[in-house]
Chains A and B, each alone.
Chain A
Amino acid sequence: MTNIVVLVKQVPDTNAKIVFNGESVDLSAVKMVTSPYDEFAIETALQHKESSGGTVTALTVGGSGADKILKDAKAMGVDNIVRVWGDGFETLDSNSFQSVLSGVLSELGADVVYCGKSSADLGSGSTGPGVAEKLGWASVSNIVSASFGDGLTVTAPADGGNAVVNVSLPAIISCDKGDLKPRKPNVRGIMMAKKAQVDVREASAPASTVTLVSQTPPPAKPAGKTYEGGQSAAEVAKLLRDEANVL
């Protein structure tokens, strides 16, 4: 029985308009969703279970608001849903966050862990390799496909081509988009999710070693220029060559 765990994170909907309140990002009115790459991780985890048996546990670090994405994962078909929270977790840095996760993963007895290659909000991409480092596990990042026949074999881009890697467990695998299509929930899954209990666990984190100083919005894009008609073609070509450097 393979104990499969998938890490999921709640992030602002990628379609949402982000409001900046002067010092930091204001998320109070934003719809929160599962980070898109995590959906590929869930799909890979479910396929792993379907091909070689086992259980899939979705794990998130977050407040009670994050129960929603766990229920969404349950509706897609995971077996268990676990949420971890503790004092001061609002401001965890990547390093302390990875310590928390590695503690819980040991507690859960995970054999293999899937996660998204990076989260849609912070996008640092450090979780998979960072946790693997703390646990001393194998780690492959940015995989685009996986097969589970004879051990775990994954494909990840490498040096302009693809590397096919056979991974010994325990391992942490971070998932890119690949050609997977994350499955959609159905009514039966949603009704199971409604009944499911979130397993809430307390944890403590090591003191943070970094401090967030401030956030700033990206610089506004300069206004675009419009050219109409065939007579402007020469000028457009010149600008594309000299200013945009794309020709």
Chain B
Amino acid sequence: MEKFEGLDFYDIESLLTEEEIMIRDMVRDYVDEEVIPHIEKACEDGVFLDKWRQDLGEMGVLGAPLKGYGCPGLSYVAYGLICQELERGDSGLRSFASVQGSLAMYPIWDFGSEEQKNHYLPKMASGEWVGCFGLTEPDYGSNPGGMVTKAEDMGDHYLLNGAKMWITNGTIADVAVVWAKLDGVIKGFIVEKGDEGFTAPEMKGKHSLKASVTSELVFQDCKIPKDRILPGVKGLRGPFSCLNNARYGISWGALGAAMACFHSAKTYTLSRIQFDHPIASYQLIQNKLAWMLREITKGQLLAYHLGKKKDDGTWFNEQISLAKMNNVDIALEIARMSRDMHGANGVLDEYPVMRHMANLESVKTYEGTHDIHNLILGRYITGIQAFTREA
């Protein structure tokens, strides 16, 4: 297929700094050279290549917007562009980077002690240590406040009991940021690979995000030292502030997947001849391509403006909900449409579209499902929460 040269109908590039453009191009070239040629095999094998972990660390894109402790301190726009390019390759790569940077490094950076920051962050920024984020439980997904995993203060250590499910990077993680109730209040704990009573079996059989590791985290009288509690936060604000950063990255990432599907649809329909002409010469196909371009362009403006608001600190939660929900929604629709436009070829692994389509189903569900974000916006508009019947 013709090389991807970016999709930038409204010249958003003119708003980017020289550094942001260089970082985007660095990740773009990397994805073309080291991800796309290997992704189908990785999906078939159900693995996240260890080389990708090393490379992302060497490139210096992990924990991109965090400052200090070996982290690069890039703008949120640069972080968004990194997510966009990674997910143009595969949502599994962006998931790895989101979990590492926004869900595992960020809580240590924001709520950790000085010792914890110095100990964990440099090795996580370099990719030497992989992190994961344990919030979801078998019985508590959209409603994490109901979690039953608990921590007990045993005097000289904490004892963790419970189980987390659907945890990205779990099995390959060296460091798990786990949310559990201590005396009924949600607190963050750092659990390390090899801690007594901690196991992380992989969950097999996903039809989506096949190149990403998903695991259970099981704590059976798991003993952890006292200095592994995150001192700076309590309650749902802890996990939710991590999710805000990751959701922001997803709003860019989803556009990357959408761009890949658009690019494939455009290239394919221009070359596929039916009824003696390229199918791209028919109005129904052009209407679909025009719709894709329109939605991607709107999504880009949304993501870019939100990035500027993240950079100057004037954003609020609901803006992130809208961006995550919208951009994943249109990306999934574009992937489905592109799959259709490829005809039978659309189901083959020779084209990226069905893989992106299947990936985006997970992206729609994690980090707050599509409808949970509708409920967040509904509460914002009306002032009435509709998550539960009980007030």
A residues apposed to B, CB below 8 Å? 15, 31, 71-72, 75, 184-188, 190-191, 193-194
- Find out whether the CB atom of B3 lies under 8 angstroms from the CB atom of A15: yes
Question: Shortest CB–CB separation between residue A197 and chain B, in angstroms?
Answer: 13
Q: Which residues of A contact B59 (CB under 8 A)?
A: 184, 186-187
**Bound state CA distance, A72 and B19, in angstroms?**
10
Question: Shortest CB–CB separation between residue B73 and chain A, in angstroms?
Answer: 9
The reply on B276 being an interface residue by CB < 8 A is no
Write the chain B residue with the least CB distance to A194. Answer: B19
**Bound state CA distance, A148 and B22, in angstroms?**
31
- Find out whether the CB atom of B72 lies under 8 angstroms from the CB atom of A188: yes
| 26 CB < 8 A contacts A-B | A15-B3, A31-B5, A71-B18, A71-B22, A72-B22, A184-B26, A184-B30, A185-B26, A186-B26, A186-B58, A187-B23, A187-B59, A187-B60, A187-B64, A187-B74, A188-B60, A188-B72, A190-B19, A190-B22, A190-B23, A191-B72, A193-B19, A193-B22, A194-B17, A194-B18, A194-B19
A-B contact count (CB 8 A): 40
Per-residue CB contact flags for chain B residues 1-44 toward chain A (1 = under 8 Å, else 0) read 00101000000000001110011001001100000000000000
Q: What 8 pairs across the A-B complex have the smallest Cβ distances?
A: A187-B60, A194-B19, A190-B22, A186-B60, A187-B72, A15-B3, A186-B59, A185-B26
Q: Which residues of B contact A187 (CB under 8 A)?
A: 23, 26, 59-61, 64, 72, 74
B residues apposed to A, CB below 8 Å? 3, 5, 17-19, 22-23, 26, 29-30, 58-61, 64, 72, 74
**Bound state CA distance, A188 and B125, in angstroms?**
12
Q: Which residues of B contact A72 (CB under 8 A)?
A: 22
**Bound state CA distance, A190 and B58, in angstroms?**
13
Question: Shortest CB–CB separation between residue B314 and chain A, in angstroms?
Answer: 25
**Most chain B CB neighbours (cut-off 10 Å) among A31, A186, A190, A194:** A190
Q: Which residues of B contact A194 (CB under 8 A)?
A: 17-19, 22
**Most chain B CB neighbours (cut-off 10 Å) among A31, A191, A193:** A191
Write the chain B residue with the least CB distance to A68. Answer: B18
Question: Shortest CB–CB separation between residue B270 and chain A, in angstroms?
Answer: 14
- Given the known interface contacts A72-B22, A194-B19, the answer about A184 and B29 at a Cβ–Cβ threshold of 8 Å is yes
Write the chain A residue with the least CB distance to B6. Answer: A31
- Find out whether the CB atom of A190 lies under 8 angstroms from the CB atom of B26: yes
Question: Shortest CB–CB separation between residue A204 and chain B, in angstroms?
Answer: 30
Question: Shortest CB–CB separation between residue B4 and chain A, in angstroms?
Answer: 10
Q: Which residues of B contact A15 (CB under 8 A)?
A: 3, 5
Other-chain contact of A185, B17, B22, B74 (Cβ < 8 Å): B22
**Most chain B CB neighbours (cut-off 10 Å) among A72, A185, A187:** A187
Write the chain B residue with the least CB distance to A193. Answer: B22
Write the chain B residue with the least CB distance to A188. Answer: B60
**Bound state CA distance, A46 and B24, in angstroms?**
24
**Bound state CA distance, A201 and B335, in angstroms?**
51
Question: Shortest CB–CB separation between residue A180 and chain B, in angstroms?
Answer: 15
Question: Shortest CB–CB separation between residue B211 and chain A, in angstroms?
Answer: 21
**Bound state CA distance, A72 and B23, in angstroms?**
11
